């Protein structure tokens, strides 16, 4: 069970949770938690009244909380010979662009305007600035050609 799953099912006071659970809880947005509390004569999960964890409070991460993966942007560089490459997440391994799609954590190629596509080149109509997905070879001269600036990957948590 992951730490996120443990936080969603927690029944222990904050000071009795594992150090890993406490550390993870402190990194998450406060509004994603409920605390076991008393309202009138009723015990139930309620929104916390303070924005810091109390030692004896029993906190639980909301069931609908979804962990956002960290996105890593690997800059694309030209080698001077017209070939493009990027450094993989380790910052050492230089890879050709065609290898990016083979990784399970691949998200896409990012362009200067923030657009993300599954391939590293965009063909743009000059007049309307629309992306054309599959231009014919006969009409390539009619388009502006944009090259991706970054390869995006999900960093494992």
Per-residue pLDDT of the chain (157 residues; tens, 9 = 90+): 889 999 999 999 999 999 999 999 998 888 899 999 877 777 888 888 777 888 999 999 999 988 777 888 888 888 776 677 787 766 556 778 888 888 888 889 999 888 888 889 888 888 887 887 777 777 788 888 888 999 998 876 5
- Around 58, how many Cα atoms within 13 Å sit in the side-chain half-sphere? 11
Domain count of the fold of the chain: 2
Instruction: Please state the pTM of the whole predicted model.
Output: 0.55
Give the contacts of 143 (CB within 8 A, at least 6 positions apart): 123, 124, 125, 126, 132, 135
Name the 3-class secondary structure at 86: strand
In the block, which residue shows the tokens 């099912």?
9
Nearest residue to 111 via CA among 145, 79, 134: 145
- Give the residue from 61, 84, 108 where a domain finishes: 61
Show which of 35, 61, 87 is a domain's final residue: 61
Question: Which domain-ending residue is among 39, 61, 83?
Answer: 61
Same domain, 36 and 16: yes
Domain that holds residue 29: 3-61
Neighbours of 14 (CB within 10 A): 19
């Amino acid at each position: 069970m992951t730490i996120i799953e443990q936080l969603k099912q927690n029944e222990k006071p904050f000071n009795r949770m594992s150090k890993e659970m406490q550390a993870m809880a402190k990194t998450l947005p406060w509004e994603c938690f409920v605390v076991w509390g008393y309202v009138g004569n009723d015990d139930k999960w309620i929104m916390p009244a303070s924005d810091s964890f109390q030692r004896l409070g029993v906190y639980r991460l909301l069931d609908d909380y979804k962990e956002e993966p960290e996105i890593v942007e690997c800059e694309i560089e030209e080698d001077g010979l017209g070939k493009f490459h990027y450094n993989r997440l380790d910052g050492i391994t230089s890879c050709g662009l065609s290898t990016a799609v083979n990784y399970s954590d691949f998200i896409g190629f990012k362009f200067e305007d923030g657009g993300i596509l599954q391939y590293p080149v965009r063909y743009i109509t000059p007049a309307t600035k629309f992306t054309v997905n599959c231009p014919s070879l006969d009409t390539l001269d009619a388009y502006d050609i944009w090259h991706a600036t970054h390869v995006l990957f999900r960093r494992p948590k």
